[in-house]
């Protein structure tokens, strides 16, 4: 009889320890930071060829390419962007007055794409 009580006591302690330890791991999972790769926005090595061009061709050049781009704005070439002016380009994608908000009739570009273009302009908008 004594042995059975002792046995169940050990089992009880075991269960308590086990549940405490599983609690501990649950909390650890909650505090661990989310994976950086899914939340970061790389604006360190921004180039016209690798990032800016693909953002513009994805969202803008449907209306702004060739000789007769909408509003006289041509965004599928580097010279077209220079003719447009980078302040005007940035103002339009950041939806800042007095510029027309772009893309016209669509939703604002994702923050990361705006940050990439802004960084490129801050770097002097090089043809790189
Ligand atoms: C559905 C067609 C369409 C799309 C897509 C579009 N635009 Fe435009 N955009 C226009 C038209 C039309 C005008 C001229 C009328 C106006 O200024 O609102 C214009 C004007 C502009 C201007 C001149 C604005 C000013 O106030 O001087 C800029 C800069 C511009 N667009 C940039 C962009 C950029 C950058 C994108 C992509 C993020 C884009 N547009 C996407 C149709 C479009």
43 within a domain of the structure (yes/no): no
Domain count, the chain: 2
If asked whether residues 66 and 6 sit together in one domain, one would say no
Residue 94 · residue 121 · CB < 8 Å? no
If asked whether residues 25 and 63 sit together in one domain, one would say no
40 within a domain of the structure (yes/no): no
Residue 117 · residue 93 · CB < 8 Å? yes
- Position 67 scores a pLDDT of 81
If asked whether residues 71 and 13 sit together in one domain, one would say no
- The DSSP result for 19-32, as a single string, is HHHHHHHHHHHHHS
Distance 102 CA to ligand 1 centre (A): 5
If asked whether residues 70 and 109 sit together in one domain, one would say yes
What average pLDDT does this structure show over 8-13?
60
Looking at ligand 1, which atom is closest to the CA of residue 89?
A: 29
What average pLDDT does this structure show over 34-48?
75
List of long-range contacts for 38-47, beta carbons under 8 Å, 24+ apart: 41/111, 41/112, 41/115, 41/116, 42/116, 43/115, 43/116, 43/119, 46/116, 46/119, 46/120, 46/123, 47/120, 47/126, 47/128
If asked whether residues 110 and 65 sit together in one domain, one would say yes
If asked whether residues 28 and 54 sit together in one domain, one would say no
If asked whether residues 73 and 103 sit together in one domain, one would say yes
Q: Is 95 left (phi over 0), alpha (psi -120 to 50) or beta?
A: left
- Position 59 scores a pLDDT of 97
128 within a domain of the structure (yes/no): no
If asked whether residues 68 and 103 sit together in one domain, one would say yes
pLDDT digits (tens, 9 = 90+) for 87-97: 999 999 999 99
What average pLDDT does this structure show over 79-105?
98
- Position 37 scores a pLDDT of 45
Band of the pLDDT at 33, cuts 50, 70, 90?
Answer: very low
- Position 48 scores a pLDDT of 98
82, 83, 88, 92: which to mutate for ligand 1, most atoms within 8 A of CB? 92
What average pLDDT does this structure show over 98-123?
97
pLDDT digits (tens, 9 = 90+) for 45-77: 999 999 999 999 999 999 999 888 999 999 999
| Parent domain of 52 | 48-122
- Position 40 scores a pLDDT of 84
- Position 36 scores a pLDDT of 43
- Position 18 scores a pLDDT of 56
59 lines ligand 1 (CB under 6 A): yes
């Amino acid at each position: 009889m004594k042995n059975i009580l002792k046995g169940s006591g050990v089992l009880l302690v075991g269960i308590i320890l086990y549940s405490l330890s599983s609690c501990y791991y649950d909390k650890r999972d909650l505090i661990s930071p989310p994976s950086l790769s899914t939340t970061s926005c790389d604006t360190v090595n921004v180039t016209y060829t690798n990032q800016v061009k693909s953002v513009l061709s994805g969202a803008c050049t449907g209306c702004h390419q060739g000789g007769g781009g909408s509003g006289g704005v041509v965004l599928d070439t580097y010279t077209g962007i220079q003719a447009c002016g980078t302040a005007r380009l940035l103002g339009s994608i950041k939806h800042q007055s007095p510029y027309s908000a772009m893309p016209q009739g669509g939703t604002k570009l994702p923050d990361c794409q705006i940050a990439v273009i802004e960084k490129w302009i801050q770097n002097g908008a090089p043809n790189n």
